[in-house]
Amino acid sequence: MRRHRFVPLAAVLLWSLSAGSLGPGLAQEEESPLISGADLLDGLKNPERWLMYSGDYTGQRHSPLKQINPDNVRSLSPRWTFQTDTTARGRGFESAPLVLDGVMYVTGPNGFAWALDARTGRPFWRYRRELPNNLTYGASAPVNRGFAVLRDRLFMTTLDAHLVSLDMKTGTVLWDIEMADYKLGYAGTVAPIVVNDKVIVGISGSDYPTRGFLDAYNPTDGTRAWRLYTVPRPGEPGSETWPNSAETFERGGGGTWVTGSYDPESNTLFWGTGNPNPDYNGDDRKGDNLYTCSLIAVDATTGKLKWHYQFSPHDTHDWDSNHVPVLAERTIGGERRKVVMVANRNGFFYVIDRTTGKLLQGTPYTNSTWAREIGPDGRPIVLNDGSKGCIPDNWGGTNFMPPSFDPDLGLFFVTARETCASYIPEKQVVTPGRFSMGGTVRRDLDKAYGALRAIDVSTGARKWEFKYATPSFSGVLSTASGVVFGGDNEGNFMAFDARTGANLWHYQTGSGLWGAAPITYMLDGRQYVVVGSGSAVTAFAVP
Amino acid sequence: MPLIVCALILIAAVGAAGQGTTVRSDDPAAIAAGGAMFRERCSDCHGADAKGGRGPDLTGIWTNEGSDQRVVQIIRSGVPGSIMPPSSAPDTELRAIVAYLRSISTARAETSRGDAERGQQVFATLCTTCHRINGRGGPLGPDLSRVAASQSNEVLTRAIRQASASFTTGYEPVTLVDRDNRRTRGTRKGEDAFSIQIMSAQGRLQGYLKSNLREVIRDEQSLMPDFTPDRLNDDALNDLLAYLARFRVNEPPRRQAPAGDRN
């Protein structure tokens, strides 16, 4: 046998690195931090980090940072812009970047992602997924909402309904698993969230004849730990709400395409589910159609359903309940409660006991509604199913753009959409891999407008609003200094006084803020606020 | 000649040569047109002679990558994770470029005398701290999963024996000197007039403002040592090349959804 002759590894490494880091007068450099489960539980405690879609597990999107405040926000100015050179036609830049250790990890449309220098916006690496040319839902909404992170790994969904893990340092694919067959209508757009050493991820595609689910994967190798379908199979609890369950359960809809929240104390995930399919025609699915248009509470270890609350039973308006559920502790009726709050696409704002799933409060936050009120049994008392005109359009009273919640002020900030639409159901021939909307929507655009609204969560009453010219899609961020950031379809990124709603600052980004969720972090002693718009990501700071 | 006129002539040449959308790879007119297009669009990275520069040597691609169609697809979609962009040029033009590349191809099935199993051990001992193959290994040096698909054994041998002779884009060695004269070595990921982005020798992504640095030194010495014959003898080198040749295409493991999981 031949013998190899080579210098042992350790010697080679010493030789090659000694000039750089080991001698006197050389920078003592730390290893890159590995993000642990404890770091994720800490959420926004480390001011230099933004580690998940909503910043922390509560979904409040409320930062403790105070450098940018109502007095100095007028001098906020852009520090850098990163042009991604890729756009989602007809949509927006919907991703929330992650920040840690001075590096920003951001996903974009069309399967792109980047690692950027958080000081300058200059790239370290770029990832691009090779996508098939026969995408289904992923072709109509070629967006992505962001990464999740654990240890030295990033996790990202893809438009061909895969989940990939990337090496944080290089963007190299570590593993790649298929969640569902994209040819049937599935796609991945949601930002995953890591909980208890599992990657929790949902699916898009309820405008196609698909079946929603929530999945948990092992971050090390991508093996699946559990799956919870949002449409039960025949005989399972909930299947009685689907009269033709055996024929429809595999195409009932109920996507899970917006990142949920997590309560570590009860080890519970809270996740919104999408519309039943076909969207506008419910003739072959008479009944409530559980668990579509609902909030589901899920055991994070087993994936078992703990409870559900359905916002829009038997929906025929495409009112997905895919919103960030916001967790908080509030005093309601003199009693301290752990609650979950949702401003729903159907125009109502809900406060739900998150232990029991019982509705505590349901109040309209939009002027146009389809229901008079939410009854004592938790069901809406519907006035107008849409055939008589002028109820919220299919994009809803708000949509997936994240709201924020200031626990000190008790105010919930949401981008509201005032629209007026009527719905015309049509017969739908359901074909796998083809859109199955089941009708059309007529909108009266003359009356439409948008607004940033502050809801007093103790009563559900509107505290203030700032009107936008058109129904807008911007996510919201608030900070402990009393500033709220939002935006409009016309491209303005804006700052407001959280107490009064007074507009303090605006900057024209050049493209509508559409589903973008601002984030904020400290770096080198300076607070940055970052938002995506069009095909660009821009970072702002005060001088 | 104005660029537009030039391009029109090229298209005319390709059209005539290729009779519409089919371009025969042995058609002299297509080869000539493809060569002109190659020099205009590709040579910046792949070299005027296609033997590689910042981008890989293309004269050997048929050895490993297979069909013309595969090469057209690569040009069409670009190479994710590299600076090779996608192309929206018409198929006829891409086929002409491929016809040209085939005409200059030196491809022959490249065999290595080495033993891939032993080469794997060499890789694990000497290379894996900095280089990765199919997701395993360190991040400091380039991913070698498909390096053998685009580089000849000769080029690879030179890169191993004389590591500092040339650097892959994104892996140029630099030393940053801060105001306290502390030095940080790393590889350059990006740079503009005011800032530089590196991966430090410890594998940390780090951005620097040049205003905070005393000096940015462009090192001539790679972070990788020269593996001269006294460090790595010819047999071991051949084993290593045989191992690298196993990984022609960088396809990370993709798993299908488990069968029978219709719940």
- Say which CATH number the domain at A258 has: 2.140.10.10
Confidence label for B13 from pLDDT (cuts 50, 70 and 90): very low
Q: How far is it, in rounded angstroms, from Cα A221 to Cα A217? A: 8
Structure tokens belonging to residue B236: 């071991």
Q: Which of A263, A318, A393, A488 is catalytic?
A: A318
CA distance A458 to A84: 42
Residue B180 pLDDT exceeds 80: yes
Looking at residues A86-114, what average pLDDT do you find? 94
Overall average pLDDT of the A258-264 stretch: 98
Q: What is the mean pLDDT of residues B115-129?
A: 95
Residue A32 lies in a domain: no
| pLDDT of amino acid B30 | 85
Q: With an 8 Å Cβ cutoff, is A250 touching chain B?
A: yes
Q: Is residue A26 part of a domain?
A: no
Closest-CA distance, B69 to chain A, in angstroms, reads 16
Does the structure show a pLDDT above 50 at A379?
Answer: yes
Please report which confidence band the pLDDT of residue A9 belongs to, taking 50, 70 and 90 as the band edges.
very low
User: Per-residue pLDDT for B58 more than 90?
Assistant: no
Burial environment of residue A13 by CB neighbours within 10 A (0 to 12, 13 to 18, 19 or more): middle
Q: Is position A17 within any domain?
A: no
Cβ contact (<8 Å) for B205 and A101? yes
Q: How far apart are CA A94 and CA B34, in angstroms?
A: 41
pLDDT attached to residue A28: 55
Q: Determine the longest span between alpha carbons in chain B, in angstroms.
A: 67
Q: Is A24 contained in some domain?
A: no
CB contact under 8 A, B135 and A167: yes
Residue of A nearest to B240 (CA): A4
pLDDT score of A43: 97
DSSP SS3 for A367: coil
* Contact residues, chain A, for B213 at CB < 8 Å: none
Per residue in A192-239, pLDDT tens? 999 999 999 999 999 999 999 999 999 999 999 999 999 999 999 999
Catalogue all structural domains in chain B, each as residue range(s) with its CATH number.
3-103 (1.10.760.10), 116-163+224-244 (1.10.760.10), 172-218 (2.30.30.100)
Residues of A in contact with B253 (CB under 8 A): 175-176
Task: Give me chain A's average pLDDT, please.
Answer: 93
Please indicate whether residue A318 is annotated as part of the active site. yes
Burial of B5 (0-12, 13-18, 19+ CB in 10 A): exposed
Residue A27 pLDDT grade (very low, low, confident, very high; cuts 50, 70, 90): low
Query: For residue A411, which of A362, A465, A471, A357 has the smallest C-alpha distance?
Result: A465
Inspect the interface and report whether the beta carbons of B126 and A176 lie closer than 8 Å.
no
Determine whether A429 is exposed, middle or buried from the number of CB atoms within 10 Å of its CB (0-12, 13-18, 19+): exposed
What is the C-alpha R_g of chain A?
A: 23
- A517-537 in b/e burial notation, b at 16+ Cβ within 10 A? bbbbbbbeeebbbbbbbbbbb
Mean pLDDT of A506-512: 94
Distance from CA of A102 to the nearest CA of B (A): 7
- CA B43 – CA B104 distance, rounded (Å): 14
Check B189 against A181: CB less than 8 A apart.
no
The residues with which A422 forms a beta bridge, in sequence order, are: A442
* Cα-to-chain-centroid distance, residue A148: 12
The rounded distance, in Å, linking the Cα atoms of A201 and A210 is 16
User: Which chain B residues contact residue A119 at CB under 8 A?
Assistant: 195, 207, 209
Q: Choose among A343, A480, A340: nearest CA to A415.
A: A343
Q: Which of A406, A389, A331, A393 is nearest to A366 (CA)?
A: A393
Residues 6+ apart with CB under 8 A from B62: B71, B102, B105, B107
pLDDT higher than threshold 50 for residue B5: no
The answer to whether the CB atoms of B230 and A176 lie below 8 A apart is no
A526 backbone dihedrals φ, ψ, rounded to 5°: -120, 135
Compute the mean pLDDT over every residue in chain B, rounded to the nearest whole number.
80
Give the residue numbers spanning the domain of A270: 37-541
Q: H-helix or E-strand containing A405? A: strand A404-406
pLDDT of residue A497: 98
Q: Could you say which of A15, A129, A175 has the minimum Cβ distance to residue B253?
A: A175
Q: Are A525 and A542 in contact (CB under 8 A)?
A: no
In a domain, A196, yes or no: yes
Q: Does A118 reach chain B within 8 Å, measured CB to CB?
A: yes
Give the pLDDT score at A294: 98
Q: Is the peptide bond before A278 cis (omega within 30 degrees of 0)?
A: yes
- The side-by-side arrangement of strands in the sheet containing A224-229 is A193-195, A198-201, A213-217, A224-229
Using CA atoms, how far residue B145 sits from A32, A39, B52, in Å, is: 24, 33, 18
Residue A295 φ then ψ, to 5°:
-110, 125
Mutation target among B73, B74, B200 for the A interface, most CBs of A within 10 A? B200
Mutation to test the A interface, candidates B160, B205, B254, most A Cβ within 10 Å: B205
ipTM value for the complex: 0.72
More confidently predicted of A118 and A4: A118
Q: Which of A9, A80, A120, A523 to mutate to test the interface with B (most CBs of B within 10 A)?
A: A120
Residue A46, classified by CB atoms within 10 Å of its CB into exposed (0-12), middle (13-18) or buried (19+), is middle
Q: Under an 8 A CB cutoff, do A130 and B122 touch?
A: no
In a domain, A3, yes or no: no
Would you say B209 and B193 are in contact if contact means Cβ atoms under 8 Å apart?
Answer: no
**A32 contact B CB<8A:** yes
Interface list for A 175-204 with B (CB within 8 A): 175-181
Identify the closest residue of chain A to B128 by CA–CA distance. Answer: A9
Res. B148: pLDDT tops 80: no
Residue A462 and residue A365 in contact, taking contact as beta carbons nearer than 8 Å: yes
User: What's the token pair of residue A59?
Assistant: 């979904």
What is the pLDDT averaged over residues A485-494?
Answer: 95
Half-sphere exposure of A301 (CA within 13 A, CB side): 4
pLDDT higher than threshold 60 for residue B2: no
Distances (CA, A) of A242 to A57, A282, A286, A492, B28: 33, 10, 7, 44, 66
Q: What is the pLDDT of residues A403-412, one digit of tens each?
A: 999 999 999 9
Domains held by chain A: number: 1
Of A340, A352, A343, which Cα lies nearest the Cα of A321? Answer: A343
* Site from A48, A100, A116, A122 to mutate, B interface, most B CB atoms within 10 angstroms: A122
- Which stretches does DSSP call E strand in B45-204? 132-133, 136-137, 172-178, 183-191, 195-200
Least confident piece of the model among A1-5, A124-128, A465-469, A487-491: A1-5
Across B2-11, B35-44, B117-126, the highest mean pLDDT is recorded for B117-126
Contacts with B177 from chain A: Cβ below 8 Å: none
Residue A7 contacts B where some CB pair is shorter than 8 Å: yes
**Do residues A57 and A324 touch, judged by C-beta distance below 8 A?**
no
CB nearest to B189's CB, from A5, A125, A179: A125
Could you count the other beta carbons within 10 Å of the beta carbon of residue B192? 12
Q: Which residues of A touch B77 (CB under 8 A)?
A: 130
Q: Taken in order A501, A503, A504, A509, is the CA torsion positive or negative?
A: positive
**B122 and A27 in contact by Cβ < 8 A?**
no
